[in-house]
Chains A and B, each alone.
Chain A
Amino acid sequence: MAEATQIPMPVAPPRMSRLIDMAIARGPALAAVAGLLGLWQLVVWGFEVPEYMAPSPLAVLRAFGDNAGVLWLNFWPTFLEAALGFVAGNLVAIALAVWFVHSSTAERAFFPIAVFVNTIPIIAVAPILVLIFGNGFAPKIIIAGLICFFPTLVNMVRGLKAVSPATLDLMRVLSASKSEIFWKVRLQSSLPFLFAALKIASTTCVIGAIVAEWIGSNYGLGALIIEATFNFRSPLLYATVFTAALLAVVMFALVSFAESKLVRWKSGDVH
């Protein structure tokens, strides 16, 4: 091949250029957020909206400062409930999916029950669990786990079955045992499906924990939301809501990070 003609390009110092690249990539999103916050502030000022009805962004920011201790104290229980529920719900779902894939009898017997459990609104299950397990951590973890459970079960079953017949032929020619096929092929090929579900679960488990705290709890972001609402402390309410959202974002980022480390390939990449 002939040498390609070199086109001279202006070269910025690498550090600078990386910053500029980032500004160009993130710029529109940051500008949009700033614009919306500004609009909100102007609406609150312009129409003289009373603070208990809708606080201004500045008031919310102040609430963050004034209530930092309270928010921090209530952040941890919710985080623990969500994280433990995430782990427990997904582990049960993964174990069940493995069982279903190995036994179609088990799948036929228990899958309809899983579907039924999934159709019950989580908010309706919460009081039942609080009645059984009391006011402690247990019902919150169970509800957070329950909300993670179904998407992971469905995706994991699909993922474990997403092995092409040709690959199974290959493993047969290689005289691979069932467990070798499971560990070397099925588990690996299910990972992209699993992570799709875990990303959903990473944010819904926070919802589960907060809903559970609404039903019966003296601590956690859910309890704080109820308390702030009843006392018309709107800036604190908004600050709590933002903290909960932040928690969900952190969970999502953790799962995405794990995915980038564990799955270096895309499903449907190759046959």
Chain B
Amino acid sequence: MALAERHDATGNPVPPAAARGKDGAIRVENLDVTFGQAPGLVTALKDVSVEIPQGAFVTILGPSGCGKSTLMRAVADLVPAARGAIDVQGKPPAEARRDRSFSYVFQDATLLPWRTALENVALPLEVGGGGEVHADPRALLELVGLKGRENALPGELSGGMRQRVAIARALVTKPKILLMDEPFGALDEITRDKLNEEMLRIWRETGTTILFVTHSIPEAAFLGEYVLMLAAHPGRVKEFMKIDLPPERRLADRDTLEFVQITAHLRKLLEEC
């Protein structure tokens, strides 16, 4: 739309996305996000630049207060950028949101408790114009392993099952990008491991670009094709690194020397943050 007229906060014109190449699913350039007003101003993110390749699985790791969630929320048009630019599939976040280019999975499943699992999955098709392309809600419930529980109310499902419904709901609009903000943070470890393995399967089957915030080093290393590490106070990029593991991963791979070396390296980096 108005790409050619966009400027950053310092008044310099931002070149249109087309001129910068289209490879990136998400491009973040010199992003600042601040909260509050002058004396109490908090800088949540400072000069963050990163390019997320199309179809990649990127985990975001960092100490608390480093703005992991804020970065996701800025990409999702839930908080405004104070400076800098964000391109989501070559569009500004608000436009990408209206086009249903991305879906968001929250830490809480945020299901509507009066709707059945199936009705919750179909919610995105009923609001905000619905979007033109969509997947079959029933097939998605099967994809996340909830076949047969279509008519269960959220109150009748376990925490892990509810988060599965939330993932199916996120996939119903066939988004190019899936933003996952600590989706398994509130789950027990066994459920979490199982969902981690299934997340990799869903990623392979759907080809979606996934941005995944986590507190857990093993989770970040196991899921991520790339790890984006942020440092705190103010939130900034510490490192954007590729994880040298084959894309087909099993839970047992986490006990290999290779994997342990990676998590040890991540832990060391995290301590420097």
- Answer yes or no: do A and B interact: yes
Q: What residues of chain A have their CB less than 8 Å away from a CB belonging to chain B?
A: 164, 166-167, 169-177, 180, 184-185, 188-189, 191, 263-267, 269-271
Q: How far does the alpha carbon of A164 sit from the alpha carbon of B106 in the complex, in Å? A: 12
Q: Tell me whether A170 and B110 are in contact (CB under 8 A).
A: yes
Tell me the bound Cα distance from A167 to B115 in angstroms.
Answer: 14
Q: Given A170-B104, A270-B109, A270-B162, answer yes or no on A184-B126 (Cβ-Cβ < 8 Å).
A: yes
Residues of A within 8 A of B107 (CB): 166
Residues of B within 8 A of A184 (CB): 112, 123, 126-127
For the complex of A and B, list the 4 residue pairs with the smallest distance between their C-beta atoms, beginning with the closest.
A175-B128, A269-B155, A176-B127, A271-B108
Secondary structure of the B contact surface, majority rule: loop
Instruction: Name A167's contact: one of B112, B127, B153 (CB within 8 Å).
Output: B112
Contacting pair B129 A175 (CB below 8 A): yes
- Say yes or no: B128 contacts A176, CB within 8 Å: yes
User: Does the CB pair B114–A177 fall under 8 Å?
Assistant: no
B78 at the interface (CB under 8 A from A): yes
Given that A169-B78, A188-B114, A265-B153 are known contacts, is A175 also in contact with B109, CB under 8 Å in the complex?
A: no
A-B contact count (CB 8 A): 77
B106, A265: Cβ atoms under 8 Å? no
A166 adjacent to B110 (CB under 8 Å): yes
Chain B residues with a Cβ under 8 A of chain A: 76-78, 97-98, 100, 102-104, 106-114, 123-124, 126-129, 153-155, 162
Q: Is the CB of A173 within 8 A of B76?
A: yes
Contacts of A175 in B (CB 8 A): 97-98, 100, 127-129
Contact A174 B123 (CB under 8 A): yes
Q: Is A164 touching B114 in the complex (CB atoms < 8 A)? A: no
Instruction: Tell me which of B106, B123, B127 contacts A166 (CB under 8 A).
Output: B106
Residues of B within 8 A of A267 (CB): 113
Whether the Cβ atoms of A170 and B106 lie closer than 8 Å is yes
Cβ of A242 to closest chain B Cβ, rounded Å = 38
Q: Whole-angstrom distance between the alpha carbons of A49 and B238 in the complex?
A: 91
Q: Do A269 and B124 have beta carbons less than 8 Å apart?
A: no
Bound-complex Cα distance A171 to B108 (A): 14
A165 → B minimal CB distance (Å): 10
Partner of A188, one of B106, B112, B126: B112
